[in-house]
Amino acid sequence: MSVRFYIIGLALGLLVSTQAAHAAIIATPPGKTVSVVEEKVFIVFDPLTGVQSSIVRHGFEETAFAFGLLIPVPGPTKVQQHSSRLRRVIERRLHPQGKTRRALDIDFVSWLASCAVPMVGDPVTDDGGEAKSGSARAQHLSLGNAPEPLHDWLLSNGFTLSPAQTAWIEELRGQGWSFIGFILRPPAGEHRVGTLLYGPVISLTHPATEPLYAAYEPPFALFDEAERSTSTVEISVLSEWSVVPLGESPPAPFYADTFPLKQLIRRRNQAGRVPWSFRRDGTLTGYELPRSAADGGILRFRRTTPFPPRRPAALSKERAYVIEVPLEGLALLAIGLLTGLGRLRRRSGRKSSLLG
C-alpha cells in the first residue's frame, strides 16, 4: 500500500510541479500555489518529564482558496489551537518593542474625489502588519503514520502534493513520524493582493528526549538545486539550559537569556491557557536557522554552555496621524479672506472721505 501511495503522490505532484516548495508541507488544489512568508516556532522542552510543547504559527501570502497544511510530529501528539494572544505574548519576549513615535501627516485632497473629511487624525496601524492581514479558519485531523489516511484526506479535499514532498513524507514515515493535517480557509471577502494571511496558533505536545522540529524545505523534482529557496525558520527553545542546534559550525543565537519562574508565570497569566507544563527557572535560546536536509530534515538541539545574555534591540514603532485638508475648503477660505480685506478697504475709504 505504501508503494501505491507513493506512485499516486508522484502522479498528483506532477500536476502542480510549478508551485513553490515549503518547509511546512503545503497541499493545494491542482494548479494553485501558496507561498509561506514566515514560520515561527517556540519550543518548551521539559527534560524531567520528557515532554515537548511546540507553539507554531505560519504566515502565508493572502489567498482566496482553501488549502492544506501538513505538520510532521515524532509520535502521538496532543494538538490545540490557541488565540493569537499566546503568540503576541511570546513575540513581546523575543522581539521587544520600543516606544511609539507619533507623526502628523497633512494630505491635501479634493471634495470631488472624497466626500468625507475626518475631523481628527486617522492613525495608521502599527501592529506589525496584523491590521493588514487576516487569520485563516482551520480544522485539523490526526492522520497517523499509515499512508491510507493521508491519501484519503488529500483526495477528499481535492489537494495534491509534489514528488519531493511525497518522498520526504515517506522518509519521515520510515522513521516513525506521523502527520497532522490542517485545512485552512481564508476569511470570506475579496482577495487582497499583497496582504498577509496568518495560520492558526498551534501547539503540538508530545514525548521527546531532546528538542526537535521537522523544518526541511524539500525541493521539487523538476527544479534545479540553484532554484531552491533560502528561507529560514525562527526557532526558540525554553528549557533548563541553553541549547545549540546539532551540526558543524552552528550559528550564534539572536536571543539568549535566563527566564525566571516569576516571569514565566507572568507571561502565562498574560497568555491565558498555555500547553506546557514547565514550571521552574529556565533559559531561552532563539535561532534563525536554514531549512537543511541534514539529519533527515529534522532540526535537533543539544545542551551547551550558557551564552552571554543577548537580546534584539527594541524596535520603535511609528504611529502616523493623517489629516486630510480639502482644496475646495482652502479656496473658500482664500475667497473669504480676500472678501473681508476688500470690505475693510472700502470701510477705510469711506471713513477717509468723511474725515476729509
pLDDT in tens, 265-291: 998 888 888 999 899 999 999 999 987
- Whole-Å CA distances, 132 to 86, 127, 194: 20, 9, 9
| Residue 319 bridge partners (DSSP) | 102
Domain hosting residue 181, numbered range: 2-99+126-315
Report yes or no: 284 and 310 within 8 Å, Cβ to Cβ.
no
Q: What is the pTM of this model?
A: 0.73
> Per the domain annotation, does 45 fall within a domain?
yes
C-alpha cell at 59: 504566515
> Per the domain annotation, does 347 fall within a domain?
no
Calculated CA dihedral for residues 108, 110, 115, 117, nearest 10 degrees: 20
Higher pLDDT, 337 or 293: 337
Q: Is the pLDDT of residue 17 over 80?
A: no
> Per the domain annotation, does 166 fall within a domain?
yes
Nearest to 209 by CA among 55, 42, 48: 48
Residue 12's pLDDT band, with cuts at 50, 70 and 90, is very low
Q: Is the pLDDT of residue 4 over 60?
A: no
Q: What is the DSSP secondary-structure string of 130-183?
A: GGGEEE-EEEEEEEESSHHHHHHHHHHHT-B--HHHHHHHHHHHHTT-EEEEEE
Q: What is the DSSP secondary-structure string of 71-99?
A: EEESSS-EEEEE-HHHHHHHHHHHS-EEE
Report yes or no: 247 and 290 within 8 Å, Cβ to Cβ.
no
pLDDT, residue 320, reads 58
Question: Does residue 175 sit in helix, strand or coil?
Answer: coil
Amino acid at 194: G
Beta-strand pair 137-144/201-207: unpaired
Report yes or no: 255 and 286 within 8 Å, Cβ to Cβ.
yes
Question: Does residue 132 sit in helix, strand or coil?
Answer: helix
Report yes or no: 216 and 298 within 8 Å, Cβ to Cβ.
yes
> Per the domain annotation, does 274 fall within a domain?
yes
Q: What is the mean pLDDT of the chain?
A: 79
Nearest to 10 by CA among 114, 142, 160: 160
> Per the domain annotation, does 354 fall within a domain?
no
How many Cβ atoms from other residues are within 10 Å of residue 30's Cβ? 11
> Per the domain annotation, does 228 fall within a domain?
yes
> Per the domain annotation, does 335 fall within a domain?
no
Question: Does residue 343 sit in helix, strand or coil?
Answer: helix
The domain total for the chain is 1
> Per the domain annotation, does 329 fall within a domain?
no
Question: Does residue 27 sit in helix, strand or coil?
Answer: strand
